[in-house]
Structure 1
Amino acid sequence: MSLLQVKEVTHSYDSQKLFKWKDRSKKVLSDISLSIEEGTCLGLLGTSGAGKSTLGKVILGLARPQYGQILFQGHNIYTADKHTRQKIRRDLQAVFQDSYSSVNPRMTTEQIIAEPLENYEKLTASEQKRTIIELLERVGLSEKDLKKYPHQFSGGQLQRINIARAISLKPKLIVLDESVSSLDMVTQTLILQLLKELKEDFGLSYLFITHDIKAAYTISDTLGVLEKGKLVELYESKDQFFNSEHPVVKELRGSILAEHPRFRSIRTKVSTP
């Protein structure tokens, strides 16, 4: 059984005109089906407006779809009983694009990471502090960062804190929604390497939502492509993606700029007839 199964999901938003008169609904997802196996990363690619973030919200339980099912460890996340939903919330975490808006600016690093631990674990004060320090060290920060506030960190450092919070409960799946897109290239590379290491060390699974092929190529095991709310292609390997003749995929590949030597091998693949 797959860790996550998305079955024929369709979702629409009601669009509105002036004076809040309802217009026809806008379909943002149409008949989406995919799955993620334990310990793997599915990279979900698409241009802006393709429906990637909406699908992420549907999977996280934040936007109930009109049609279809989201099954996590075999349970429908929208119809499961209270106890099962609580377990799903523990095992299904997220890291979003804007690292600053993802945290309370009035909370210290220690308080930010402590939130999920206080909700789900029964730790003594000393155990909790020790756990938080270990998490900080695991993401490249240290005990001296415990009492700092979000404005005292760079975007990359704060994203590390968001990652530490996301892994604090040892979840099964993390939805990463454009989680590195707002970072500079060097920081992106460091965060992607961290995510790869955590995936291997903790046996994590990821849904990596991005418009950046390079980032997806770095971390993903399989790749899917969304276009106008439809899953146009799903690839079991990155080689399949780079050999695909689908026009949407070819357009995405054509957007790669190999400004760094690390990615020139990718560019070579893209340019091969």
Structure 2
Amino acid sequence: MSLLQVKEVSHRYAERSLFKWKFQSKQVLSDVSFSIEKGTCLGLIGPSGAGKSTLGKVLLGLERPQSGQILFQGHDMYSVDKSIRRKIRRDLQAVFQDSYSSVNPRMTAEQIIAEPLENYETLTAAEQRRTIIELLERVGLSENDLTKYPHQFSGGQLQRINIARAISLKPKLIVLDESVSSLDMVTQTLILDLLKELKDEFGLSYFFITHDLKAAYQLSDTLGVLDNGKLVELYESKLQFFASDHPAVKEMRSSILAEHPRFRSIGRGTTLQEENRV
């Protein structure tokens, strides 16, 4: 059984004018279906306005879709009882784009990471502090950062704290919603490397929402393309993605200049056999 199954999910938002709601509505997601296996990362790419973040909210239980079904560990997320819903909330975490708005500016790093532990674990004060220090060290920070506030960290450091909070309960799946897009290129690479290490170490699964093709390629095992609310393509390997002739994929490939020559040649239509020889 797949860890996550998304079955024919559709969602629409009502449009509104300046003073009142209109009867017209906007289709945001249309019959989206896919699955995520344990220990894998599905990268979802697409242009702004494609519906990626809305789909992320649907998976997190924050936006109930008009139709379709979300199964997490075999449970329908929108029809389970409170006890199962609590378990799902523990096993399903998120890291969002804006690291600063994701935290309370009046809380220290220790308090930020402690939130899920206090909600779901029964630890002594000493055990909790030791756990938080271990989490900080695992994401590249230290015990000296415990008492610092968000404004005392760089964007990359604060995103590491958000990641530490997300992995504190050893979840099964983490939704990464543009989680590196606000960072500079060097920091992006470091955070992506960290996420990959954590995925391998803890057997984590990721749903990685991004518009950055290079970031998706670095972290993802499989790639999905969302365009105008529809999952137009789903690739079981990155080689399939780079060999695709789908117009939306070709447009995305042409919009980047890959740093590595092998990616440039693929973008010009290199075959899978040629890529395998690189």
CA distance in 2, matches of 1:272, 1:224: 19
SS at match of 2:102: coil
Map of 2:24 onto structure 1: 24
Give the conservation status (yes or no) of the 8 Å contact 1:8–1:67.
Answer: yes
| Deviation per residue, 1:61-104 (Å, 9 max, x gap) | 00000000000000011100100000000000000000000000
| Deviation per residue, 1:211-253 (Å, 9 max, x gap) | 0110000010000000000000000000000000000000011
- Which residue identity does 1:144 align to in structure 2? N
Map of 1:77 onto structure 2: 77
TM-score (norm 2): 0.96
Provide runs of 4+ in structure 1 moved above 6 Å. Answer: none
Task: Find out whether 1:257 has 2:254 as its counterpart.
Answer: no
Map of 2:274 onto structure 1: none
Which of residues 262, 266, 269 is equivalent to 2:266? 269
Give the conservation status (yes or no) of the 8 Å contact 2:117–2:168.
Answer: yes
Deviation at 1:22, TM superposition (A): 1.6
CA RMSD of aligned residues (A): 0.8
Give the conservation status (yes or no) of the 8 Å contact 2:42–2:222.
Answer: yes
Deviation at 1:119, TM superposition (A): 0.1
After superposition, where does 1:163-202 map in structure 2 within 5 Å? 163-202=163-202
Q: Gapped runs of 5+ residues in structure 2? A: 271-278
SS at match of 1:122: coil
SS at match of 2:224: strand
CA distance in 2, matches of 1:227, 1:130: 45
Give the conservation status (yes or no) of the 8 Å contact 2:14–2:21.
Answer: no
TM-score (norm 1): 0.98
Structure 1 vs Structure 2: percent identity of aligned residues?
Answer: 79
After superposition, where does 1:46-61 map in structure 2 within 5 Å? 46-61=46-61
| Deviation per residue, 1:156-207 (Å, 9 max, x gap) | 0000000000000000000000000010000000000000000000000000
Give the conservation status (yes or no) of the 8 Å contact 1:45–1:223.
Answer: yes
Deviation at 1:18, TM superposition (A): 2.8
Alignment length (residue pairs): 270
- Which residue identity does 2:90 align to in structure 1? R
Give the conservation status (yes or no) of the 8 Å contact 1:17–1:23.
Answer: no
Map of 1:216 onto structure 2: 216
- Which residue identity does 1:16 align to in structure 2? R
Give the conservation status (yes or no) of the 8 Å contact 2:91–2:171.
Answer: yes
Map of 1:112 onto structure 2: 112
CA distance in 2, matches of 1:264, 1:146: 43
Task: Find out whether 1:230 has 2:227 as its counterpart.
Answer: no
- Which residue identity does 2:31 align to in structure 1? D
SS at match of 1:114: helix
Q: Gapped runs of 5+ residues in structure 1? A: none
